[in-house]
Structure 1
Amino acid sequence: MSHLDTTDDTQMTAAWMGWYRFSRNPAAIIGAAIVISVLVMAALAPWITPFPDHVGSVVDFRNRHAPPSAVNWMGTDKAGRDIFSRTVFGFRVSLLLVFGVLVISVPVGAVLGMCAGYFGGWAEKIITGLTNVMLAMPPLVMALAIGNVLEPTLINAMFAITLLWWTWHARLVYRVTVSVANEDFIEAARLAGAGPVHILFREILPNCIAVISVKTTLDAAFVILFGATLSFLGFGVKPPTPDLGSMVADGRQFLPEKWWEVLAPGFAIFYATLGFNLLGDGLRDMFDVEA
């Protein structure tokens, strides 16, 4: 049996063991089920909601503040719009925010972290110094400052969060890169004539995939909470677009009598963040990494 075959068998065995740990973890399975349900609801929102037109500027003042019923499962808001329909569509906004933030911050942070850990010297000092400076800034205060300058839109909310979010991935990948940069397989690749780009993306990056996957999944929950907080404070998506944070903000002024106007979007935020947190913990146990 060749060395390559032995390596493949070892990797396959490790993969099966990881999947076995994941499948035997009830919390991880529940988390995966919750995340899948959120994704499905967001994708099928126009077809599974009873009042998809209530996403827009539709008003029905004769039905405003209606309690939960067979027609309006979660009641209606101050404009008479169906809260269940708007909550399901609110998942779309939250997931778009997660995608927009992480699709930028994860690659940027990973590349900068690998460069700092592999090259060292001035590259390490500049990147780690910039990372430490950005991490010293309170994320919410920074995002609020940006949101106060820019128009409150989904794109600007993504920009405000992304501006700071890459730093966490840069620091995480930097630690992994430093730990593997002096391994024998890196030296062998260097002696074989491999350039820095090959070493970074073909040798080091595969060793970072596990921790990046775990961190990204856990980050999805934090981005949803962070985005909801910005919207709650008035720096998120513009109305009448349904956003879970702004729905909570709109409903709180009618508490405690109209409790359903806060309960539905609040529970949706809890439901989505719980799912991503449980899934992230399950992936951490599966890969047996710290993130």
Structure 2
Amino acid sequence: MSAVAGSEPKALSAGYMAWYRFSRNPAALIGALMVISVILLAIFAPLIAPYPDDVGAKVDFRSRHMAPDWAHWMGTDKVGRDILTRVIFGFRVSLLLVIGVLGVAVPVGAVLGMLAGYFSGAVEKIISGFTNVMLAIPPLVMALAIGNVLEPNLVNAMLAITFLWWTWHARLVYRVSKSIAAEDYIEAARLAGASHWHILTREILPNCVSVISVKTTLDAAFVILFGATLSFLGLGVKPPTPDLGTMVADGRQFLPEMWWGVLGPGFAIFYATLGFNLLGDGLRDMFDVEV
């Protein structure tokens, strides 16, 4: 009894406390489940989609513009293809766009932001000045310009979005790393003879991971929406590849009678973006950071 009474409670780790905050956030858990469902649908699309043959240029005019029923839960499009099947495969295109854009924009922005925040003088002025110039360019205008010059396809859509997306991560990481570089333990590392590479990768970068993770998750929603906008305007993925933005553009021609042509892919865009936003907000609360 005395041993139990005299024992001290174990200190909870920061990781456990962060997970505890996340697990007690219903919106974050719902967002995580929504994102996981989108990823699983994209990965196992050939096994889940009810009519995999409708992904390509298949034409069945006898089944065109069928309203939603038990055979076609989201109806069919103008050439008789199952909309639900194309929506499921459309998630693949959206996630590929997210991976392609953020896979380039996040590392480039993070590296430039850390360099500008850690080094003073000319390095900071050059990187910060160039970033501010790029931030002054409207992303949609630049994407439209690149899309008009290059052939509309998935790779060029990634290029159009990535061209300016890195700037947001550079500015965020610059602000965080600038604050970290002023800490006493960074000065102590310098006095101990630590190299710039060691300080950047072992001291500053780990402290930036949380804000980068939150920003990347929130940006995934914006990239999906931005990519759908380009496809809606005819500058993204071209038919017959199933793309959510292109499907909305095709379906709007037959509104309001064939409303299901817009409702299905439109809801899919809403579902994916909402899921990433809820997850990003949950991670922000979990890490207790400002983005």
TM-score by length of 2: 0.95
What is the CA–CA distance in structure 1 between the aligned matches of 2:111 and 2:276, rounded to whole Å? 24
**CA deviation vs aligned residue, 1:143-201 (integer Å, no higher than 9, x gap):** 00000000001000000000000000000000001101021221122122211111111
**CA deviation vs aligned residue, 1:206-263 (integer Å, no higher than 9, x gap):** 0100000000000000000000000000000011000000000000010000000000
What is the CA–CA distance in structure 2 between the aligned matches of 1:130 and 1:78, rounded to whole Å? 47
The residue aligned with 1:127 is 127
The residue aligned with 1:6 is none
1:62-81 superposed matches below 5 A: 62-81=62-81
The residue aligned with 2:289 is 289
The residue aligned with 2:241 is 241
The residue aligned with 1:87 is 87
State the Cα distance separating 1:91 from its structure 2 match.
0.2
User: Given residue 288 of structure 1, which amino acid in structure 2 is its aligned partner?
Assistant: D
1:103-252 superposed matches below 5 A: 103-252=103-252
What is the CA–CA distance in structure 2 between the aligned matches of 1:40 and 1:264, rounded to whole Å? 18
1:6-21 superposed matches below 5 A: 13-21=13-21
TM-score by length of 1: 0.95
User: Given residue 104 of structure 1, which amino acid in structure 2 is its aligned partner?
Assistant: V
What is the CA–CA distance in structure 2 between the aligned matches of 1:289 and 1:83, rounded to whole Å? 40
The residue aligned with 1:36 is 36
What is the CA–CA distance in structure 2 between the aligned matches of 1:290 and 1:53, rounded to whole Å? 46
**CA deviation vs aligned residue, 1:30-69 (integer Å, no higher than 9, x gap):** 0000000000100110001111111111111111111111
The residue aligned with 1:4 is none
What is the CA–CA distance in structure 1 between the aligned matches of 2:277 and 2:98, rounded to whole Å? 14
What is the CA–CA distance in structure 2 between the aligned matches of 1:134 and 1:53, rounded to whole Å? 43
What is the CA–CA distance in structure 2 between the aligned matches of 1:133 and 1:104, rounded to whole Å? 20
User: Given residue 235 of structure 1, which amino acid in structure 2 is its aligned partner?
Assistant: L
State the Cα distance separating 1:202 from its structure 2 match.
1.0
User: Given residue 58 of structure 1, which amino acid in structure 2 is its aligned partner?
Assistant: K
| Structure 2, gaps ≥5 residues long | 1-9
Coordinate RMSD, CA, aligned: 1.0
State the Cα distance separating 1:107 from its structure 2 match.
0.4
What is the CA–CA distance in structure 2 between the aligned matches of 1:208 and 1:238, rounded to whole Å? 38
| Structure 1, gaps ≥5 residues long | 1-8
**CA deviation vs aligned residue, 1:95-114 (integer Å, no higher than 9, x gap):** 00000000100000000000
Secondary structure of the structure 2 residue equivalent to 1:253: helix
State the Cα distance separating 1:77 from its structure 2 match.
0.3
Indicate the larger mover: 178-187 or 257-266.
178-187
Secondary structure of the structure 2 residue equivalent to 1:258: coil
What is the CA–CA distance in structure 2 between the aligned matches of 1:24 and 1:88, rounded to whole Å? 30
What is the CA–CA distance in structure 2 between the aligned matches of 1:182 and 1:164, rounded to whole Å? 29
Aligned residues: 282
The residue aligned with 1:22 is 22
User: Given residue 278 of structure 1, which amino acid in structure 2 is its aligned partner?
Assistant: L
The residue aligned with 2:61 is 61
Secondary structure of the structure 2 residue equivalent to 1:257: coil
State the Cα distance separating 1:17 from its structure 2 match.
1.0
User: Given residue 177 of structure 2, which amino acid in structure 1 is its aligned partner?
Assistant: T
What is the CA–CA distance in structure 2 between the aligned matches of 1:202 and 1:237, rounded to whole Å? 40
What is the CA–CA distance in structure 1 between the aligned matches of 2:144 and 2:120, rounded to whole Å? 34
Secondary structure of the structure 1 residue equivalent to 2:254: coil
